[in-house]
Structure formats: C-alpha cells, structure tokens
Amino acid sequence: MGDANYERELDVAVRAVHMACALCQRVQAGLVSHGTGQVKSKDDDSPVTVADWSVQAIVSWILAESFQDQNVSIVAEEDVQTLSKAELADLLASVTKTVNESLAEAPKYGLQSPKKALGATQVLEAISRCNSTGGPTGRHWVLDPVDGTLGFVRGDQYAIALALIEDGKVIMGVLGCPNYPMKNGWLNHHHHQYDESMSSSATDTWEKGCVIYAQKGSGKAWMQPLVQQNKMLEWPNSARQIKVSSIDDPGLATFCEPVEKANSNHSFTAGVAHSMGFKYVMFILIFIFYAILFFPLYK
C-alpha cells in the first residue's frame, strides 16, 4: 500500500470515488434516457452537469468530515456562480436531491452519512469549499469531478479523478471509470461499435466500471470493480494489481487516442498506427490524466 502515513487518506479517497461513480452512473442514465436538459454551459462555453456539481459536493463533504482535524484544502473545477442564479433554482434542487441520495448510501461504502439531509445552502457551501489555489507547500486534494463531460453527456467514457499532493509532490491518485469495460474483449471494439453496445440491453450482461488507484512509493497500482447494487464495498479484498502490458507485438496491442477531434488529429494518428502495425484503436478520454498522475507514483 506504500507509506503507512497515508493509508487512511487512500482508504477514504477510494471509498469516496466509489460513491461518486455510483452517483454519476445514475445521473448519466437519466441524461441518456431523458435528454440533456440539465446540461448547462459555463462562461468558457464548456458543459457542466448535475453530476459535476454533485460529485464535487459529496467529495468535499466526505473529505471535510473524515479529516476534521486538518484544514482540508481542495482544488476543484466547479464554482457556484451558475448554480446560484435565481432562474436555476430547479437545477440547484436537482443537485441537492442527488447529493443527499448519494450521501444516504455512504454506509454502504464504509463512510458516515450526514445526521440529516443537507439543505441547498449546505450543498453550495460544500461545492464552494473547493476553492483552494493549491501551491508548492502544504497538503492539497485535487479533484476533477467529471473528467470528460462531453463523453459523459453522450453516454460514453469519462472519469472521476482525485489526487493528494503534498509539498508539490503527488502522493496518491484515484481514478474512477464507471463505464470502463472489465472484460478485455470489449477493449478491441471500435468506438462506434462500443457506443452502440452500450445503448443496448446487453450492457447488463457484462461487467463494467472500476476504481484504479496508486500511492507513491508502493511500486504498484490496483484496480477494483465498482460495488454492485445491494452489495457492500469489499475493501481492499476485491482489488487486483494492474501492470504495464507485456505485449511487445504492435499487432496485438491497443492504440488509444481521444475521441474528440479537437484533441487529436485522427487522420495523422491513424497513419502512424497503421505504419507501426497497430490493429485496434480505442477512442477514449481518460488516459492522459492516468499517464500524468499515476506514472510518477512509481518513482
């Protein structure tokens, strides 16, 4: 597990991300079924959803309650300016409802629930508490509540990303991937085939969703399947170690690139992949974060 001094932090972080994954699965199912009416645009025109605010609220609340003896510093993406507008009262009510539904399930993940449901003001306070600017000294939690909101909105891949940085060094990273297929065979499907498969009733027949985590100094990374409905989190017994692939034949490897054309030149990368002998291309949004965050933890 790495440094024993951080065991509690890692334990809480993994459990919180499990909760956030379950929350996002419910919200995404609603978006896919009922449209994108609860998707709003921020000042920079990037999308934000009920899930973005709700995940930030529950992770903020869990960290604050779990480490009351510390001055918890959280750097996160969302603010409350849009959500606080009077004309968006219904949206705030949806976020508050989603947050309370999630926190009510906290005991399932080995965490404490609030003694009573949070009000809208308390939810806004939890979200706005994540306003730290970080810095090269001190301990800072860093959260991206929904990494890949465009993928989330269309029912595709996204991630919940949580890290702990201390004195400018990454100490641990936790990545929740609610739609990541646990069966390797699904990784070899083209994005469009995968997307069609996700929209069918067949999705119930294969396991999907995991939480991946690593800690500086441990030399290991772990993958844990998401908690299934009506089951308690088995921690850490359900986790298995993951390693860099031993495949050295490009023809058997999987080549990954962003699904958003704005983030990648698909024609160019397709040519590179072909020239190197790659046969399988997986369009996904989350591996850049994984590479940046997790690889330094092995040093």
Phi, psi of 62 (to 5 degrees): -65, -45
Is residue 167 part of the annotated active site? The answer reads: no
Closest by alpha carbon to 103, among 95, 111, 93, 94?
111
pTM of the model: 0.83
Model pLDDT, residue 298: 47
What is the Cα–Cα distance from 284 to 157, expressed in whole angstroms? 6
Instruction: At 262, list the tokens.
Output: 């704005």
Q: Is the pLDDT of residue 168 over 90?
A: yes
What is the mean predicted confidence (pLDDT) over 257-284?
76
Q: Which is more confidently placed, 288 or 75?
A: 75
Choose, from 52, 79, 96, 156, the residue flagged as catalytic. 52
- 185: which DSSP letter? G
Helices (H), 88-190: 89-104, 120-128, 149-153
Model pLDDT, residue 199: 44
- pLDDT tens-digit map of 95-149: 999 999 999 999 999 999 999 999 999 999 999 999 999 999 999 999 999 998 8
What is the mean predicted confidence (pLDDT) over 166-192?
77
Task: State the binding site for Mg(2+).
Answer: 77, 144, 147
What string of DSSP letters covers 47-116?
EEEHHHHHHHHHHHHHHHHHTTTS---EEES--STTTT-GGGHHHHHHHHHHHHHHHHTGGGGT-PPPSS
Model pLDDT, residue 218: 86
What is the Cα–Cα distance from 127 to 295, expressed in whole angstroms? 29
Closest by alpha carbon to 44, among 76, 86, 78?
78
Query: What residue spans define the domains of the chain?
Result: 4-243
Model pLDDT, residue 32: 64
- pLDDT tens-digit map of 257-266: 777 777 678 8
Instruction: At 86, list the tokens.
Output: 């009077």
Q: Is 270 helix (H, G, I), strand (E, B) or coil?
A: helix
93 close to 43: Cβ distance less than 8 angstroms: no
> Percentage of residues in the chain with pLDDT exceeding 90?
49
Model pLDDT, residue 203: 45
Is residue 52 part of the annotated active site? The answer reads: yes
**To which CATH superfamily is domain 4-243 assigned?**
Fructose-1,6-Bisphosphatase, subunit A, domain 1 (3.30.540.10)
- pLDDT tens-digit map of 220-236: 899 999 987 667 777 66
- pLDDT tens-digit map of 10-62: 999 999 999 999 999 999 988 766 655 567 766 655 678 899 999 999 999 99
Closest by alpha carbon to 66, among 7, 4, 136?
7
Instruction: At 173, list the tokens.
Output: 């990273």
What is the Cα–Cα distance from 59 to 192, expressed in whole angstroms? 33
Choose, from 49, 96, 98, 149, the residue flagged as catalytic. 149
What is the Cα–Cα distance from 39 to 169, expressed in whole angstroms? 34
Model pLDDT, residue 24: 95
pLDDT tier at 293 (50, 70, 90 boundaries)? low
* Per-chain mean pLDDT for the chain: 82
Q: Which is more confidently placed, 201 or 163?
A: 163
What is the Cα–Cα distance from 155 to 270, expressed in whole angstroms? 24
Q: Which is more confidently placed, 166 or 183?
A: 166
Q: C-alpha dihedral over 208, 184, 265, 199, to 10 degrees? A: -40
